[in-house]
């Protein structure tokens, strides 16, 4: 392990090679400073990370790769997309993709260890694959990265080189409801509030929650704050979990488990050396068999579309990848196998920007998940679990679809043989 000035990174990276694959932390943990320097050293390389933020290298010569596409790679003409569940990505490194360089964003050292901080996720798998291939593992050690406990605590000698920085970690900007109509004259804020209320009513005291990031999951917080004894077992957590903790909704005796954090500076301060929080590798957090052991496991996710067969598309728009499968299918399966578990799909019935129904006859894009417990929109709750496919279709049209779309959906359901 060697501590380097950033201008000396060229001493550990072979800049003559044009076939290197560089894997970095993603989400809010992308090590933009060191990545930017590495980009100046390599004429051509493959850049692989999850949920890439703005600011990553975009020039010719860089081939972006991801199993979950973020805004930094979305619509990129050279994007190489791997359609797979997040829990399978570490196996991708083991069995398919050679990892030559890993750039991890870590905390400052404590007692001879650093922490991967806000994102553990697939990084342990990438580091192991890189080591096995004889590659180079670099740490961007940042005094402002929280030190979190769990699978991301690594001894300093894991790293071949360390570059020290002292800079703010990326924050997740909170999107404000803009009042845009959601269909039928209802504002985005009103529809989100209704959906959130319907979701929270289904959550029992003592339940274990998986909450996604975004406006719809956040809208469920008002009702969830009044719950008691809740647990968290989730892929990603945000400020909503901090709010539940401050409201007394979480069971103080239960460990809060996640694989990554995205949110505000307040969330990061709460996470720093928090003994109740464990940030684990995705092979653990997203394992359906482990998810299924959580008491009253309740998975709350959203999608771009749901069809009359209760298939959800959360990954593609107009046949082009928008994000990816992520952990939605992992948690849907795990929750359905948990004792008294639920897999809830929450979305608006009408897409405000595209001005189309989100309940469609048949999804033409790759399916992200299916067989949910219920589909919830501002129109109501379509009960799906344990029903035959014709009953599912009727539930979706009558209780989840926007009224403006129902006549067409009835006709399409007839043509599909669902009535």
* Rounded Cα distance, 119 and 127, in Å: 13
Single out the residue of 209, 194, 169, 213 nearest to residue 28, CA to CA. 169
Q: CB atoms < 10 A from the CB of 275, how many? A: 7
**Residue 13 has what DSSP assignment?**
S
- Cβ atoms of residues 349 and 357 within 8 Å: yes
d(CA 5, CA 320): 41
Closest CA to 302 of 226, 385, 400, 224: 400
The token pair that represents 313 in the structure block: 């598309």
3-state secondary structure of 115: strand
CB within 8 Å of 354: residues ≥ 6 apart: none
Distance CA 183, CA 339 (A): 37
Beta carbons within 10 angstroms of residue 307's beta carbon: 23
Strand ranges across the sheet with 2-3: 2-3, 161-165, 136-142, 101-106, 21-24, 45-48, 62-66, 80-81
Kindly provide the residue ranges of all beta strands, DSSP E only, lying in 1-75, ordered along the sequence. 2-3, 21-24, 45-48, 62-66
Which of 36, 77, 67, 78 has its CA nearest to residue 54? 36
Active site residue 243: no
- Among the listed residues 65, 235, 283, 412, the single catalytic one is 235
Say which residues have a Cβ less than 8 Å from residue 60's Cβ, sequence separation at least 6.
none
User: Which positions ≥6 away from 108 have C-beta within 8 Å?
Assistant: 114, 141, 142, 143, 145, 147
User: Whole-angstrom Cα distance, residue 24 to residue 52?
Assistant: 10
Q: Which stretch of DSSP H or E encloses residue 113?
A: strand 113-115
Give catalytic residues, as residue numbers. 235
């Amino acid at each position: 392990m060697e501590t380097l000035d950033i201008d000396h990174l060229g001493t550990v990276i072979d800049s003559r090679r044009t076939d290197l694959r560089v894997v970095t932390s993603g989400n809010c943990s992308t090590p933009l400073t060191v990545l930017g320097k590495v980009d100046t050293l390599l004429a051509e390389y493959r850049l692989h990370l999850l949920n890439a933020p703005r600011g990553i290298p975009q020039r010719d010569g860089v081939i972006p790769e991801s199993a979950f596409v973020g805004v930094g790679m979305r619509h990129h003409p050279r994007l190489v997309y791997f359609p797979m569940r997040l829990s399978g990505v570490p196996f991708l490194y083991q069995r398919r993709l050679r990892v030559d360089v890993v750039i991890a964003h870590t905390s400052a050292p404590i007692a001879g260890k650093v922490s991967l901080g806000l994102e553990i996720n697939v990084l342990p798998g990438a580091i192991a694959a890189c080591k096995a291939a004889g590659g180079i593992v670099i740490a961007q050690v940042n005094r402002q990265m929280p030190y979190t406990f769990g699978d991301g605590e690594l001894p300093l000698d894991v790293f071949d080189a360390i570059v020290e920085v002292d800079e703010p970690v990326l924050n997740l900007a909170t999107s404000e409801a803009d009042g845009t109509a959601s269909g039928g004259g209802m504002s985005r804020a009103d529809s989100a509030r209704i959906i959130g209320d319907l979701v929270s009513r289904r959550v029992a005291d003592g339940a274990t929650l998986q909450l996604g990031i975004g406006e719809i999951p956040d809208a469920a917080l008002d009702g969830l704050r009044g719950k008691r004894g809740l647990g968290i077992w989730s892929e990603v957590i945000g400020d909503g979990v901090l709010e539940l903790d401050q409201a007394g909704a979480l069971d103080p005796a239960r460990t809060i488990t996640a694989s990554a954090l995205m949110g505000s500076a307040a969330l990061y301060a709460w996470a720093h050396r928090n003994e109740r929080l464990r940030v684990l590798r995705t092979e653990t957090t997203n394992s359906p068999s482990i998810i299924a052991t959580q008491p009253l496991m309740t998975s709350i996710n959203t999608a771009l579309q749901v069809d009359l067969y209760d298939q959800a598309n959360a990954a593609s728009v107009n046949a082009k990848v928008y994000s990816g499968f992520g952990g939605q299918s992992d948690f849907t399966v795990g929750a359905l196998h948990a004792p008294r578990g639920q897999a809830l799909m929450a979305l608006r019935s009408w897409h405000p920007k595209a001005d189309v129904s989100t309940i469609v006859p048949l999804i033409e894009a790759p399916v992200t998940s299916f067989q949910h417990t219920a589909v919830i929109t501002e129109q109501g709750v379509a009960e799906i679990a344990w029903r035959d496919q014709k009953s599912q279709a009727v539930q979706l049209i009558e209780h989840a679809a926007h009224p403006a779309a129902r006549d067409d959906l009835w006709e399409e359901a007839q043509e599909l043989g669902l009535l």
